[in-house]
Amino acid sequence: MAEILKMHNIYKSYFMGEEELEVLHNVNLTIHNSEFLSILGPSGSGKSTMMNIIGCLDSPSAGMYILSGNDIDDLDEIQLAKVRNKEIGFVFQNFQLLPRLSALKNVELPLIYTGISSTERKKRATKILERVGLSEKMQNLPNQLSGGQQQRVAIARALVTEPTILLADEPTGALDQKTGAQVMELFEEINREGRTIIMITHDAGIARYAKRVVNIIDGYLTE
């Protein structure tokens, strides 16, 4: 299986005033195509920082991060925006849907930045919304949808660009147990279709849906 992500000796530290705070220590991680990986850790363990670096929202202080053959350190802001658009599909804890846009328009959003024509966007967004079981709700605004449905819209939005990695941050954090389980089942299905999924969570029960779990505690990653 092809190697799609490689983190080599990654360090990340922040400055809190004068004091340097190291949140990631020598992280090494390799992810292959079609993996379903869970990064499990309590709050404050550095898992959000992991997610930001994997998602190219933040850059490591030291070390090498290669995503789909690109050394992220070499890229400028515009190239990073393109990488995020093309390689990463984000799923956030709070769904992060734009409240004034319909489910369909929300799913179309990343394709606008890819530069795809409006008719093609609509076609792709419709198809992916059907895939996540929301063909009846496409014109609804987010507040007319249940939490589970909103997260499905968010997942559809993440998948619509056919990204290399689906990157989910506590995807069930805002959902009840049952809905959370349904979302995880959807993740499993998506993974079975060959999509690589990286999920960040503090919930060991949720992490169990992944085929591979890595633990992060105090900035140290262990498998």
Partner 1 sequence: MLFESIKMSWENIINNKLRSFLTMLGIVIGVASIIALITIVQGATKSISDQVNELGVNKITINAMGTPLKQGLGQDDMINISKVDNISGISPTISGRSGIVFNRKVIESVLVEGKNEVYFKTDSSLLKSGRAINILDLESKNQVAILGNNIVNELFYGVDPVGKELIVNGTTYNVIGTLKASSGFGIGSNNDTVIIPYTTALRSLGVKNITSLDVFLKDTNLADDTVTDIKAVLNPAFNYKEDAYTVFNMGDMIESLQSMMSMMSLLLAGIAAISLVVGGIGIMNMMLVSITERTTEIGLRKALGATPNRIQLQFIIEAIFLSIFGGVIGLILGSLIAYVAASFIGIGFSVSIATMALAVGFSAAVGIVFGYMPARKASRLNPIDALRSL
Contact positions toward partner 1, by CB under 8 A? 52, 55, 57-58, 77-78, 81-82, 84-86, 90, 92, 94, 96, 98, 100, 109-110, 112-115, 157, 161
Between 54 and 209, CB nearer to partner 1:
54
Between 2 and 78, CB nearer to partner 1:
78
Shortest distance, CB of residue 80 to partner 1, whole angstroms?
Answer: 9
Q: Which residues of 186-217 are buried (b: 16+ CB within 10 A; e: fewer)?
A: bbeebbeeebbbbbbbbeeebbebbeebbbbe
Shortest distance, CB of residue 75 to partner 1, whole angstroms?
Answer: 12
Between 161 and 191, CB nearer to partner 1:
161
Shortest distance, CB of residue 152 to partner 1, whole angstroms?
Answer: 17
Shortest distance, CB of residue 201 to partner 1, whole angstroms?
Answer: 17
Shortest distance, CB of residue 211 to partner 1, whole angstroms?
Answer: 26
54 in Cβ contact with 12 (< 8 Å): no
Between 57 and 217, CB nearer to partner 1:
57
Q: What are φ and ψ of residue 204, in 5° steps? A: -60, -30
Between 100 and 208, CB nearer to partner 1:
100
Among candidate residues 124, 135, 200, 209, the one with its CA nearest the CA of residue 159:
124
DSSP reduced 3-state for 46: coil
Beta strands of 17-142 (E only): which ranges? 19-32, 36-40, 62-67, 70-71, 88-91
Give the DSSP H or E segment for 115.
none
